[in-house]
Structure 1
């Protein structure tokens, strides 16, 4: 079992730098890396709230389908499975992203350095292949501001790099509700990566299918991920990246309180409207790394991709007859690309200093159409069919962000980090559907913001660090939020301004034997929080809510003891409230921001030797969550327990892992997630009762 005190993780360079690496002699002491290749990272030495989750831990006795299975030990991260593969996971960091009704909002996501978040701040997790993850790094706090738009936090996923010997692995999982997954992975290398011509590779593919816990919630997902690295010469390497995902999922929709209490598995509108979503996405990237000198590195990342989405919604015929309605079918094609170029210099200026400067460019074009979700059949609407065109627009967005980051080793114990990013985001929309009662909604908007950050770290001892940090962030409206004005007039919603925030944080990290104890206190004040203004006639508009405050505390412990035992625990207290006029009167001032639990807790205890029997148990607690701005509806708090056990066989080149698990052991009825401010009061997305699963993986290494 790994020694936690020496645990390291890799932060690839595509993540914007916020801690630079000083001279080589101090490399082992430092943390967040700015070079393009993965390098060692220490959670202890990072002057920010960061958690690193190992890929092997994520695959131990889990289905390997959703990130929500294995990120419970990360404080400040609220990740919930909607039991709805048409809408992705509900994910927020310190309350940012909680209002998103689909996809991921307010957080920057990266997979092998390629953003899974579009320039407007909307992201998704559907292309993340747990079967090939090397590590997941979750950054919370002020330093996330250096990642530009949607800076409530950062989640970076790094996939495995192939190594000798060549290995092939087949894995499978079978669970409740007709769920199953098959996966195949091959990794390997020619050479050790230090000589010209050395090559490494990692290829993974999987297929997942489920009938779903709820009615009308079946889904099918195909996923592939590949990485190929080549050592060009003594000073440069090239890495090729490829990812593809194909999803077909029914959408069970949300339930009202009475519907949830009477039958949480029902989907009253799913079959009636044949609600569903089809998604295909393919992307590729190339990363070039070159050592210019002993003190200088150049890193360039380029990528491009496309994403096609078709979604059928549960909107009745009546509202769609409104001339301003966009219909009940979304047909969306997105094409995106980008390049991030950076240079890092390590030297001395009175004290050891490292400087990184770079330029990040991203753009996306979008063809968005809307159709009625019915055709008339003998005077009766036949739902689930593509009807008349009701929306047709072409949207463009792009950003160009220069950034500068430096680290100063002021003394042996004191380190200063300071940086700034100038983020510029442009939107342009051309409306091609103009009809009586549905005017021209074309328009353009642009936003710019300086994003400074700084941090001081003081090493009390080799095993105990204190830090304080501060930074500014901002979050622009998405294209969807800009589309319609709340006054029902034509044109882009240009009155909608970005949400801006200022965050301060103090923290402590202490190594305790073979473990790490971390604590953080933070406060974030936001101006112009973006919330729903109105939702009617098939159109949802947005407005700025004024001021909000998020303040809280995070505590985590990751402790190894008695060689093969491991204890993990995390607690989050988050007080997130409106501080101004979000409900157009004084009634919501002081209310809790919906979608955010005030308290979250997690604890797990596991016995995990390298081979033989292993077992574990975890307990998760989620406080009550408000469902609307008025705080008149809420999802109750809940606590659930899970158990797992398995056996690892080792027969020379053959390795086998057979396991079983039980989730929600005591069959607790609870709401897994809420749809914030749902216009019809259907806020609740139920979680399954007691459920079971078994899995098997077999690997062969070509010695």
Structure 2
């Protein structure tokens, strides 16, 4: 059955490529021109052209991140990729799912591994502070969709690889920027990059603040990042990454449908038993520091090693409606990767071997919340998380333009939990509770064949494993869940990508069988906890398409017209269903998995002229999807139009000015950019801003 599914999908891709297409990341006046047969990706350590990579990889360039949308957030750019869904229920509160649902993430980012080059950003507890990054300091994002544990460790969703802004070789560039918009939005930033004397250094500072569309949703964030790369010798390169983020945002809380329809700007009101979100000053205070060092050494043209070490610290506070959580977290870890290339044998092969070790120590205390002030201590707990991964991969070039990739990793996740008595009278002594999951082997096999320079097809089988995150074994209400089991799954996938003239396409079909699916529950006070929800069958079809009506390569005769005029489209069609899922006496088997739209369509137009004017228009549609495991409540369809108009112009040989204006939700729809799944009291809704605008300016000088 599975083989028939994959064979049929691949046959459809081969016979009807004009039906399902893909937008290759666009060329940008901010970047070098990117064509499908030129783009090099780092996913699975191949460092090959995207066309030659046997995996589903989405790519966002600087245009996608910093030009298409004026708002300084990752959310709209991420949502242009099929299979990826990002939410922002209030400014600064991110949630991200790759080929999955939001049932595991009431807040934050889980079940996804992230790296800045080879430096792990996801901690040993499986959590990623995505809101600690500022999009204005990013130059490129690769999103590997589906299980990638054969090289990157635990996680059934996927892997994200971040890169900073490019540094001009032999020059120094300084850019200052400012922006302002609706609902009190304001921001500024400065970026300094210099690429001289065998070094490349980039320093970025960015500030953003907003009053928020809803009551009790104000936000302020400051980000500082430093990246440096130093060529010590022809064989040795040392790099450094430093990040610091200071973020505070209020959390307005979910509304019932009646409250949402009556006043979408309201925060969660008080009930007969609980105070309101505003009265308790519900919000997040988060300070994140990160320092990483990377050492790359090339023994010769065939062997090289990259070893990284990092340390991180997080200071976190969350005044909630029912309690006040304070948490400090210290992380340390490293990763080493060695590549051995054997290009001259009968079957040219590249071997990749390595290991990753992560450790986090967390101290968590819960207090009563008296109007936003921590009151009497309720719990005093410590949690230690350890994650170890060893991996090996071989990439073999076979006859007849085939390429085989085979990888295998072993993953080991362990937790130690201690609860200390907070009252001496009759208290029991503190006891360490271990939760050790059996080490798991994760194989992956992929086969790719190229058909000339502009067409390739691939098929892969991979296994996924995701242990419960530290926020799931120890949820916000406190305690330690010793019965929660890891997710396990197998993914079958086939894809086709290529180009025909000005047309570029990328199609992938997959079927993912997931066991012990982790789902979210809420208690009467709204605090989350997690259980295993049986099996899920996850089938999906993803496609991207772009067509260059005009591009720099095709418009050399008339320099006064467009340098780029491109239409693009992305599509996700999915069918995620529960299997063998019993909730009490109710059988939920064959119900749709909540939080995932069966159909997502995103269409855009990119236009750039030689005189400096540019425009981007994006339309996004999501059809309705269930908000509960029982499928008794459905979301509203989403229709979202966003647009940016700008003018970029060189002032002499050294100066460049970029002025832009953007509009969001131009159809003025009442919609929720992130629902609370399985919410108690039917408080599912978190209204996104109504029609709003933003304007900004960037001024840079290069010498």
Normalising by structure 2, report the TM-score: 0.88
Maintained 8 Å contact 1:11/1:156:
no
Q: How does 1:79-478 map to 2 (within 5 A)?
A: 79-85=86-92, 88-143=93-148, 145-163=150-168, 164-191=170-197, 198-267=198-267, 268=269, 269-315=276-322, 328-347=323-342, 350-374=346-370, 383-433=371-421, 442-447=432-437, 448-478=439-469
* Distance 1:147-1:253 versus aligned 2 partners, 3 A rule: same
Q: 1:532-554 CA deviation, whole Å, 9 max, x = no partner?
A: 35624676432211111110100
Give the one of 522, 546, 550 matched to 2:510: 522
Q: CA deviation at 1:127?
A: 2.2
Maintained 8 Å contact 2:36/2:498:
no
Q: CA deviation at 1:346?
A: 0.7
Q: How does 1:680-695 map to 2 (within 5 A)?
A: 680-695=681-696
For 1:674, what is the secondary structure of its paired residue?
A: coil
Q: CA deviation at 1:8?
A: 5.3
Maintained 8 Å contact 2:349/2:397:
yes
Maintained 8 Å contact 1:583/1:630:
no
CA distance in 2, matches of 1:411, 1:218: 60
Maintained 8 Å contact 1:141/1:505:
no
Structure 2 counterpart of 1:636 = 636
For 1:260, what is the secondary structure of its paired residue?
A: helix
CA distance in 2, matches of 1:517, 1:393: 51
Q: 1:583-620 CA deviation, whole Å, 9 max, x = no partner?
A: 23343111111111111110101212354211121100
Q: 1:222-264 CA deviation, whole Å, 9 max, x = no partner?
A: 0011111111111111011100100111111111111101000
Maintained 8 Å contact 2:83/2:145:
yes
| Runs of 5+ consecutive residues of structure 1 not aligned to the other structure | 20-31, 34-40, 192-197, 316-327, 375-382
CA distance in 2, matches of 1:539, 1:275: 13
Maintained 8 Å contact 2:90/2:212:
yes
For 2:279, what is the secondary structure of its paired residue?
A: helix
* Distance 1:611-1:61 versus aligned 2 partners, 3 A rule: farther
Structure 1 counterpart of 2:44 = 18
* Distance 1:625-1:341 versus aligned 2 partners, 3 A rule: same
For 1:44, what is the secondary structure of its paired residue?
A: helix
* Distance 1:642-1:438 versus aligned 2 partners, 3 A rule: farther
Q: CA deviation at 1:83?
A: 2.4
CA distance in 2, matches of 1:43, 1:515: 16
For 1:216, what is the secondary structure of its paired residue?
A: coil
Q: 1:447-503 CA deviation, whole Å, 9 max, x = no partner?
A: 221110010001122211110001111111122322379xx9x97422211010110
* Distance 1:357-1:173 versus aligned 2 partners, 3 A rule: same
Q: How does 1:52-67 map to 2 (within 5 A)?
A: 52-60=59-67, 62-63=69-70, 65-67=72-74
For 1:474, what is the secondary structure of its paired residue?
A: strand
Q: CA deviation at 1:426?
A: 0.9
Q: 1:482-530 CA deviation, whole Å, 9 max, x = no partner?
A: 2379xx9x97422211010110001100212244201111011111111
Q: CA deviation at 1:423?
A: 0.4
CA distance in 2, matches of 1:127, 1:539: 24
Q: CA deviation at 1:187?
A: 0.6
Q: CA deviation at 1:342?
A: 1.8
CA distance in 2, matches of 1:227, 1:505: 36
| Runs of 5+ consecutive residues of structure 2 not aligned to the other structure | 1-27, 270-275, 552-563
CA distance in 1, matches of 2:453, 2:34: 15
Q: CA deviation at 1:629?
A: 1.2
Q: 1:184-204 CA deviation, whole Å, 9 max, x = no partner?
A: 00111114xxxxxx1111111
CA distance in 2, matches of 1:464, 1:7: 9
For 1:634, what is the secondary structure of its paired residue?
A: coil
- Aligned Cα RMSD in Å? 2.2
Maintained 8 Å contact 1:553/1:573:
yes
Count of aligned residue pairs for this structure pair: 648
Q: CA deviation at 1:635?
A: 1.5
Structure 2 counterpart of 1:70 = 77
Maintained 8 Å contact 1:97/1:106:
no
Q: 1:539-584 CA deviation, whole Å, 9 max, x = no partner?
A: 6432211111110100101333312112221000111111122423
